[in-house]
Structure 1
Amino acid sequence: MDDYNLPFWIYLAVVTVFVGGAMKKILASHLSAGPTLVAWLGATVLVERLWAFCLPAVLLLVLLAVVCCVRSGSGTGPPPGPPAEGKAVFITGCDTGFGNAAAKHLDSLGLDVFATVLDLTGDGARALRRSCSSRLTLLQVDITQPQQVQQALLDTKAKLGLRGLWGLVNNAGVCVNLGDAELSLMSNFRGCMEVNFFGTVSVTKSFLPLLRQAKGRIVNISSPAGDQPFPCLAAYGASKAALNLFTETLRHELVPWGVKVSTILPSSYKTAPSSNNAYWEQQHQQLLQSLPPALMEEYGEDYIAETKDLFQSFAEHANPDLSPVVNAIVHALLSPQPQLRYFAGPGIGLMYFIHSYCPLSISNRFLQKLFVKKTLMPRALRKQSGLEANLGLSNNNNNEEKLQPL
């Protein structure tokens, strides 16, 4: 022990804190077995030389495996939290996707579900009526309209009577993007903010008195795009970043009231309207008609068309199984100790691990390889590259002529 000087012990302490924080995030991220094993091995190699004198690397790996098995085993099955019966949950955006699936599942568990839809006569509303019990209450609400939010609050209060509201699931959201931030219409930025941020804030503020009364839960469906710079998702990502900060602030402020707040970060899932080819074509045509001619000339119609095709292909290959997100919603509502953040879907935990602990250059390259992998440059850059190449070739020819013997 005497051979180790003070700088070594300081270095050991720093590395221990780093590795401990990394493993804490891994264990809380619901990573699949493969990436988790890679993370274990990496952590073991990192500390092997430092801890060889007091803790063999094999023993460290065994301890990490045992801890992870205990954690993963305790996370399976229904959470041993408060009983579902008699508890009321308000969910926004139940026409399709996560909201529709969550409303059905929560109704099957015995909760009183208040589900908002944009159209009471639409397919989503009809499907909920067919498959759910009489406890389900359908409400037509556009969360960007304060009058409709207030009417939904009055209707919910009338049904609850003296009870408070146990859960609020802010699921309603939109993603309207087809390209670079410069090409995104201002209406896209405003539309995403109105629904994903301002609408969610409006619903949350309106229903907070009922949630505080029940010491209940708030579950906000956000996106990794709110934390990381996904290419071509500037408007959507900015609105989700605002939502994430609002959620974090709300979590701290509601601790004295006993209201717990969770964020769910889904991976890519196949939800309407993103799975509809006509939707992408409509967005593409709208963008082409709205761009100024000068901007269209600099980027090129082929560049914009490739972006549309990449988004469409990405949506077509998205996961159709919504159960990881639904299970996360249920856990956040009914677990006695809900997590602050749920990484719902394969690869999300690994993505956040890379984002948190790797250099930005690696994290950004990972996102570029993972998401929209463009092959075309904007037209102006292609012309510039062609001009530079021609100039370079011309200069080489001139130099060769000058070097010719007389």
Structure 2
Amino acid sequence: MDDYALPFWVHLAVVTVLVGGAVKKVLASHLSAGPTLVAWLGATVLVERLWAFCLPALLLLVLLGLAYRLCWRSRTGPPTAILPAEGKAVLITGCDSGFGHAAAKRLDALGFEVFATVMDLTGDGARELQRTGSSRLTVLQVDITQPQQVQQALLDTKAKLGLRGLWGLVNNAGVCVNFGDAELSLMSNFRGCMEVNFFGTLCVTKCFLPLIRQAKGRIVTISSPAGDQPFPCLAAYGASKAALNLFTDTLRHELEPWGVHVSTVLPSSYKTGHSSNHTYWEQQHKQLLQSLSPALLDEYGEDYVTETKDLFQSFAKQANPDLSPVTGTIVHALLAPQPQARYYAGPGVGLMYFIHSYCPFSLSNRFLQKLFLKKKLVPRALRKQSGLEVGLDLDHLYNNNNNNNEEKLQQL
């Protein structure tokens, strides 16, 4: 029995993952449970049969890894059939820079009629789209937090489409207005993220839904893994994306009878917007320090806040400048006959979700902290407490004892 202890536990772990994955996918799937259940149970039986042939545990794991890789390639590889782009119209929000700007260019090159919304018609991003885009590309100035501007964009779009519907809506516009611990973030920061990332996207989606339903088209929303997982120091941003993810998932169920496909794109870290702008990070840091009360700043410490800023800036520098994985998933979501409900765009996102979904909370939590912000400092108040526990803060301890003695003398 001892000789087979390790293979037995490896076998048990593999079967547990397969069966647990089957149950979870069936419960969470918005599609028919039958094919998913059959596939996972079939894989479980296959593992059992392979084990019966006394294959070594290491070889079995290698075979399972190869099978997973082949399945992943079949899911993410180029589609065998793709719908034509010609004659299809799509509206993309947030095209001043980043994913929206790159997607507008790529979809225009594919033959889409593109309506690209920007915050500033005189900005560099808008001018570049107007200069390099085809005659099919229309740039519209829209602040998605202003319902009047969204309604005007709807009227402008209808005027160009005539009796046609809108094939695609790409909800890309979004902001991350600050960084730092939730306690250090102003309520205005939380409201700012919600206003753009959730309520703004909600307003655009509701306004353009009749045109999407008319065309039996697609809705593609650019979200973030921060909406599903607790990234440290991104509470305001993550909360808004969590609301957006739930809204998008609900919308997918509701629009299925209408023949409308709804997809969510979850990118990894990319260089977009102000992420590589040193001045931007310094301004954010300065504004955060100025907004804190003296008592709160003393408890956390300015060095703690500065370290957070430096870590965010360092993380942004390492971000991928190639946005093509994200624009590629947008194209697939718009043109695939059966688009996926969720796209993991970029290296590491699928692994992150696998660990988050299947591993114990303690392990996934540690993985997330090590992956994102590797903080070395703790808040100043905790450092003081730690110093007291190991007898390092002797002056503070001495003062406390003196105060206690004085109080006792006064009582006497």
Asked if these proteins are the same fold (TM beyond 0.5), I'd say yes
Distance in structure 2 (CA, Å) of the matches to 1:382 and 1:232: 19
340-349 vs 54-63, greater mean Cα deviation = 54-63
Distance in structure 2 (CA, Å) of the matches to 1:77 and 1:142: 35
Distance in structure 2 (CA, Å) of the matches to 1:214 and 1:101: 24
Check conservation: 2:213, 2:259, Cα contact below 8 A. Answer: yes
Code of the residue aligned with 2:70 in structure 1: it is C
- Correspondences of 1:228-247 after superposition (within 5 Å): 228-247=229-248
Secondary structure of residue in 2 paired with 1:138: strand
Code of the residue aligned with 1:17 in structure 2: it is V
- Correspondences of 1:1-400 after superposition (within 5 Å): 16-18=18-20, 52-53=51-52, 62=63, 65=66, 68-69=69-70, 72-73=73-74, 75-77=76-78, 80-390=81-391
Secondary structure of residue in 2 paired with 1:139: strand
Shift in CA distance, 53/22, structure 1 to aligned 2, threshold 3 Å: farther
Deviation at 1:273, TM superposition (A): 1.0
Secondary structure of residue in 2 paired with 1:342: strand
Distance in structure 2 (CA, Å) of the matches to 1:15 and 1:363: 16
Deviation at 1:211, TM superposition (A): 0.2
* 1:31 matched residue in structure 2: none
* 1:404 matched residue in structure 2: none
Unaligned runs of 5+ in 2: 1-11, 27-42, 396-412
Deviation at 1:54, TM superposition (A): 6.4
Check conservation: 1:48, 1:56, Cα contact below 8 A. Answer: no
1:132-161 Cα deviation digits (max 9, x unpaired): 111000000000000000000000000000
Deviation at 1:69, TM superposition (A): 2.8
Distance in structure 2 (CA, Å) of the matches to 1:237 and 1:98: 19
Secondary structure of residue in 2 paired with 1:254: helix
Percent of matched pairs sharing the same residue: 73
Distance in structure 2 (CA, Å) of the matches to 1:96 and 1:68: 34
1:90-111 Cα deviation digits (max 9, x unpaired): 0000000000000000000000
Check conservation: 2:17, 2:358, Cα contact below 8 A. Answer: no
Q: Which structure ranks higher in relative contact order (CA pairs < 8 Å, sequence separation ≥ 6)?
A: 1
Code of the residue aligned with 1:278 in structure 2: it is T
Code of the residue aligned with 1:367 in structure 2: it is L
Shift in CA distance, 100/54, structure 1 to aligned 2, threshold 3 Å: same
Distance in structure 2 (CA, Å) of the matches to 1:297 and 1:392: 16
Shift in CA distance, 127/65, structure 1 to aligned 2, threshold 3 Å: same
Shift in CA distance, 227/12, structure 1 to aligned 2, threshold 3 Å: closer
385-394 vs 332-341, greater mean Cα deviation = 385-394
Shift in CA distance, 301/320, structure 1 to aligned 2, threshold 3 Å: same
Distance in structure 2 (CA, Å) of the matches to 1:102 and 1:329: 8
60-69 vs 326-335, greater mean Cα deviation = 60-69
Deviation at 1:119, TM superposition (A): 0.4
1:157-183 Cα deviation digits (max 9, x unpaired): 000001000000000000122210000
Check conservation: 2:388, 2:394, Cα contact below 8 A. Answer: no
Check conservation: 1:84, 1:334, Cα contact below 8 A. Answer: yes
Code of the residue aligned with 1:92 in structure 2: it is T
Shift in CA distance, 368/67, structure 1 to aligned 2, threshold 3 Å: closer
Distance in structure 2 (CA, Å) of the matches to 1:156 and 1:231: 40
Check conservation: 1:12, 1:50, Cα contact below 8 A. Answer: no
Distance in structure 2 (CA, Å) of the matches to 1:314 and 1:101: 22
1:163-210 Cα deviation digits (max 9, x unpaired): 000000000000122210000111110000000000000000000000
Check conservation: 1:177, 1:232, Cα contact below 8 A. Answer: no
Deviation at 1:76, TM superposition (A): 3.0
* TM-score, normalising length: structure 1: 0.84
Code of the residue aligned with 2:173 in structure 1: it is A
Shift in CA distance, 71/238, structure 1 to aligned 2, threshold 3 Å: closer
The CA RMSD over aligned residues, in Å, is 2.8
Distance in structure 1 (CA, Å) of the matches to 2:50 and 2:331: 41
Distance in structure 1 (CA, Å) of the matches to 2:128 and 2:344: 28
Check conservation: 1:22, 1:353, Cα contact below 8 A. Answer: no
Distance in structure 2 (CA, Å) of the matches to 1:55 and 1:197: 54
1:1-56 Cα deviation digits (max 9, x unpaired): xxxxxxxxx999866423557999xxxxxxxxxxxxxxxxxx99x99678522695
Code of the residue aligned with 2:291 in structure 1: it is S
Distance in structure 1 (CA, Å) of the matches to 2:18 and 2:173: 42
Shift in CA distance, 11/170, structure 1 to aligned 2, threshold 3 Å: closer
* 1:39 matched residue in structure 2: none
Check conservation: 1:79, 1:334, Cα contact below 8 A. Answer: no
Distance in structure 1 (CA, Å) of the matches to 2:336 and 2:53: 38
Distance in structure 1 (CA, Å) of the matches to 2:14 and 2:235: 41
Code of the residue aligned with 1:284 in structure 2: it is H
Code of the residue aligned with 2:163 in structure 1: it is L
Secondary structure of residue in 1 paired with 2:182: coil
